[in-house]
Amino acid sequence: AQRVTQPEKLLSVFKGAPVELKCNYSYSGSPELFWYVQYSRQRLQLLLRHISRESIKGFTADLNKGETSFHLKKPFAQEEDSAMYYCALSGPGANSKLTFGKGITLSVRP
């Protein structure tokens, strides 16, 4: 069974502080990992995926297979980063469904 755990529900930081949103997963195989973001009054949308190995809006996430983690990081938080963030996992191949964590609310204070 595939499972995604986001241990914290809320993270509140000041502008300019580093951010790390934790995500751990359980999957027997080679998963694909994603981070989705939902800004206030906007749709849930893809932020980044591990296979792209890219930085989006200053965010990065590295897949650590040994620790089964995919933490989302940003060195200097901005107020506009305030949103709900979901970590998600999928198995490889077509017809693979996404399993989401419960999400974490990031609040960046001025």
Partner 1 sequence: DAGVIQSPRHEVTEMGQEVTLRCKPISGHNSLFWYRQTMMRGLELLIYFNNNVPIDDSGMPEDRFSAKMPNASFSTLKIQPSEPRDSAVYFCASGAEAAVSTDTQYFGPGTRLTVL
Binding site residues, partner 1, CB under 8 A: 32, 43-46, 49, 51, 86, 90-103
Eight-state DSSP code of residue 92: S
In the complex, the smallest distance separating the C-beta of residue 102 from partner 1, rounded to whole angstroms, is 3
Give the C-alpha separation, 99 to 87, whole Å.
Answer: 8
- Name the residue nearer to partner 1 (CB basis): 39 or 76: 39
Report which of 39, 18, 54, 53 is spatially closest to residue 86, judged by C-alpha positions.
39
Between 48 and 77, name the residue whose CB sits nearer to partner 1.
48
Who contacts 15 (Cβ-Cβ below 8 Å, separation ≥6)? 77, 78, 79, 108, 109, 110
Closer residue to partner 1 (CB): 10 or 110: 10
Least distance from partner 1 to the Cβ atom of residue 83, Å: 14
